[in-house]
Chain A
Amino acid sequence: MLFKKQVLFTVFLSCVFSFQAQNSENLIPKDAVTVFSINNINLFQKISLDELISYDFMYEVHQELFDGSTSGSTLKDSGLDFDQKLNVFYGKAYKSEISGFSFGIKDQQKLFTVFDDFDLIEKMSDAKTKVYGSFFNNLIIRANSALLIRVEPTMDYISEMTDSIWYARGNESPFDYFNYDEEELNILDEKVFGEEEEPNEEENQLFPDASEDPNVKNYYELRDSVQLVLQQAQLDMILNELLVLNINLPNSDSRFANQLTHDSEGIFYMDNARNIDKANGLWYFQTVLPSLYKDVQELYAGNVILGDIYLKEHAVEFDITAEYGKGLGEIYKEMNDSKFDRNILKYIPNNSSGYFSYNVNMQKAYEKAYEIIMPILSEEKNAQIAMNVLTIELLNEFVNKDALFGTYKGSMFGSFNGFKKIKTKKIEFFYDEETFEYGERVAEAEEDMPIFTYGITIDRTDIPEKILKHFGRLTSKIQNKGNYWIFENAIFDAAPLYMINKNGLFILTNDEDLAVNHSDGYKKEKLSRKAGRKAKKSGFMYANINVAETINRFPMDVLNDRQNEIIQTLKGKSGNLELVSTKTSVKKTQFKIKYTYQGDDTSGKHLLDLINSIYIVTK
């Protein structure tokens, strides 16, 4: 009996303390799709706030927070409780987009030196919970935890509600405003250059005028009002779930709750199954083919990425697990059931700055995908889908799949081998000594070019050979040089592209030395055995990058803005980045990314940089 009382008392105490001691992770809304939770925020004590707000994951909420008054301050001065987790989250559903972070509070006074633009919203606050607001963001404080959140209704939802109200009021299409009678051009009225033109007020006005009666709104005014109302409604709904109904991400998703129990420095969570709503390309399915969209959603059910971040001495490690549902799992398992092709190691030089290998079996993946997805598509009663299904089924019968997948098996590799000077031609001016009149002549030139090699594994070497032979007859720019093919001026109309079709590989490269001198492989200069074994032992994917040599020298010009964003966070660093994967099962695949670095930057700084890169990739 005494023992039972002691247990009950302990349970009671736990309940009391858990009620009083609100953990920051309990303030993560259930609609969050991507979450970084940093366990050991002691690491960031020395990070300045100015530096912190430069990160993309801080972008959504930093505008009003850090207005210069916090310049020179660190996180340590901001009143945060370093014994609680710092959780950064993002989520997007059809109706709204949420972003923000939750954290523990040690000193509210210090906290409000950072959040100095926030005003208390009395109607939303009570004895237990205080809600503060600024223009875009809200700060919620409960016990010793806080949530900074931004909730924005999506444009699609705003437009849907606005259109509904607009047309319900009997209004015409708002876009007719832009229709105007085109006057016939009179050629006698041609403009004369140099004459001052009076500004055309009609042309300058992009939107209809506001009316004098405030109750009569034009479409855009109505939309603004709807946006404000929806924003408040979404915020109320989310806060009601979190604070009244106690519905949050940890108690909605046991996978996330389980991740939180890990003793790593930080954890990562991304629910791909809910992320699919965000995929812009699928809006067509949502609206026109809702039942197909539902089926695709079911295929993605259970698709989640979970990760742990570990900080070691001069190293940061990510352990990532990608889990998926049965349907996708079976496709991935077949796809990744591929033997490592040792031939690729011959074409990666031992001084390569960065290389990757990717081993998949496209034929098995196709056959399994056909088996799983075709029955889903065949059930659709939509005429267009039915025609597409018929086309796919006929192609499946008529196309020689062995030839197709023999030509493109799916496995590939690539390497970046630094910069080399390549020969080009230029035009130069020359001057007559007598008169200084000038002419033009062609001269040899050299330009720095980043050297890449990319190859795919193939069984049917005769097919690319056939294609190249045919194109070689059509243009003199494509020539067979025996051991390789050359496509003159293929790259930016200035540099040649070399193609090597040997050893079960079809290789594209701009490295003349590889094509001319090493078309059978680098032999002794190839990747070391130790490095090769690491690549072979890794599952379907392996990558190794010398950060200083590759990323710092990577030609940013060839990347788009988004890729540049990711690379920028790693620029200026030195060290090695290695990605390995495990064998894929029906339920999951695991990856490990290990970043070993030199230099004096703190581990916390490196960690933030890597978190930022992953945030950009997953956003």
Chain B
Amino acid sequence: MKKNILFLFVLIFSLSSCIEILDDLTIHADGSGTFRYNINLSSNKIKVNSILALDSLDGQKVPKIEDIKEKIQQFIKTLDAQNGISNVKVEENYTDFIFKFSCDFTNVLVLQEGLKETIHSLTKEKKATELDHNWIAWDGNKLTRSTPTITQTKVKEMKQSDLDLLKTGSYTSISRFDSTVEKFTNPAAILSKNKQAVMIKTDTYSLKENLDILENVIYLNSTKN
């Protein structure tokens, strides 16, 4: 499984030219919420299909679609069994290569802990320190988001020759709330018209150059009884 996860990182970053990634976090007042993560490789269908036809890529064995489906089912089952996590779903589209993940959580700590434990369990890797870092914090009125360490690590490992290819990929991060947003710290972020969602959209090249680009602290308007 560890090899499959490593392969997925190799695949994602080798296809960074036209990959579209969306992470969408909804937080309710009580700290529970929904986390969605979408990967869209439809711009790279030819390349993805040609890679899947190979035996190996960059020293990693290329899994078959059946292997990938099986691993996704394992991932769903394991994550669903974690404390505080429920309603885990993954929509897989192997024609356009779009993958949509979503789950509900009782608080952001269990979300991060659940993801970490799931990956540990599936990779049997106890020492993946990149997963230890908490990238979301919520205190009831303030949401702090940063880039996961594992993303930082993998992006730094990218070859210089792939850098130009990153410019056409995109990464979108959305945070949604029940109440309105008062302010946020990231100048690149934009507020929705209903003032209940904050979006940061960047290209994968900028993300590589500046890993803090997704960092944001969002303050909500406090509700008074």
Contact B49 A492 (CB under 8 A): yes
Within 8 A of B (CB), among A427-443: 427-429, 431, 433-436, 438, 440
The answer for the CA separation of A493 and B49 in the assembled complex, in Å, is: 8
Chain B residues contacting A160 (CB-CB under 8 Å) are none
Query: Bound state CA distance, A428 and B169, in angstroms?
Result: 12
**Interface hits, B11-43 → A, CB 8 Å:** 18, 20, 22, 38, 40, 42-43
Q: Are B54 and A557 in contact (CB under 8 A)?
A: yes
Is the pair B45, A494 in contact by a Cβ cutoff of 8 Å? yes
Does A445 contact B18, Cβ atoms closer than 8 Å? yes
Alpha-carbon distance between A434 and B193 when the two chains are bound, in angstroms: 4
User: A571 to chain B: closest CB distance in Å?
Assistant: 14
Does A561 make an interface contact (CB < 8 A)? yes
Q: Tell yes or no: A482 within 8 A of B by CB.
A: no
B69 near A: Cβ within 8 Å?
Answer: no
Closest to A440 in B: B98
- What's the nearest-Cβ distance from chain B to residue A143, in Å? 45
Give chain B residues whose Cβ lies under 8 Å from the Cβ of A495.
46
A424 CB to nearest B CB, Å: 6
Interface size class of B (residues with CB under 8 A): 35 or more
Q: A193-B81, A436-B176, A447-B45 are in contact. Are A427 and B40 (CB under 8 A)?
A: yes
- Asked if A194 contacts B81 (CB within 8 A), the reply is yes
CA distance A194 to B22 in the complex (A): 30
> Of B18, B55, B77, B81, which is within 8 A of A560 by CB?
B55
Chain A stretch 407-443: residues in CB contact (< 8 A) with chain B: 424-429, 431, 433-436, 438, 440
- Check A433 against B47 for contact (C-beta < 8 Å): no
Is A555 among interface residues, defined by CB-CB distance under 8 A? yes
Contact A558 B50 (CB under 8 A): yes
Find chain B residues with CB under 8 A from A394 CB. Answer: none
Taking chain B's interface residues, is the majority helix, strand, or loop, or is none over half, making it mixed?
A: mixed
CA distance A561 to B60 in the complex (A): 12
Asked if A491 and B46 sit within 8 Å, CB to CB, the answer is: yes
Stretch from B2-10, B129-137, B146-154, B194-202 that touches the partner: B194-202
Residues of B with C-beta under 8 A to A424 = 43, 45-46
Q: In the complex where A433-B192, A434-B194, A435-B197 touch, is A193 in contact with B45 (Cβ < 8 A)? A: no
For B48, list chain A residues within 8 Å (CB). Answer: 492
Smallest Cβ-Cβ distance to A438: which chain B residue: B22
- What is the CA–CA distance of A488 and B43 in the complex, to the nearest angstrom? 17
Across the interface, which residues of A come within 8 angstroms of B98, CB to CB?
427, 440
Could you mark each residue 44-69 of chain B with 1 if its beta carbon is under 8 Å from any beta carbon of chain A, else 0? Answer: 11111111011111000000000000
Is B199 within 8 A of A431, CB to CB?
yes
Residues on A with C-beta less than 8 A from B18 are 426, 445
Q: Kindly identify which residue among A425, A435, A440 contacts B192, using a CB–CB cutoff of 8 Å.
A: A435
Residue A449, interface by CB 8 Å: yes
15 residue pairs of the A-B complex, CB under 8 angstroms, read A193-B77, A424-B43, A429-B20, A429-B38, A429-B40, A429-B172, A436-B192, A438-B22, A440-B98, A492-B50, A493-B95, A557-B50, A557-B53, A557-B54, A561-B56
Known A426-B45, A492-B46; 16 more pairs at CB < 8 Å: A194-B81, A426-B43, A426-B96, A433-B192, A433-B193, A434-B194, A436-B197, A436-B199, A449-B46, A491-B46, A492-B49, A494-B45, A557-B53, A557-B57, A558-B53, A561-B56
10 nearest A-B residue pairs (beta carbon): A492-B49, A494-B45, A193-B81, A436-B197, A426-B42, A427-B42, A426-B43, A557-B50, A494-B46, A434-B193
- Which residue numbers of A lie inside 8 Å of B, CB to CB? 193-194, 424-429, 431, 433-436, 438, 440, 445, 447, 449, 491-495, 555, 557-558, 560-561
- The interface of chain B, by Cβ under 8 A from chain A, is 18, 20, 22, 38, 40, 42-51, 53-57, 77-78, 81-82, 95-96, 98, 121, 172, 174, 176, 192-194, 196-197, 199
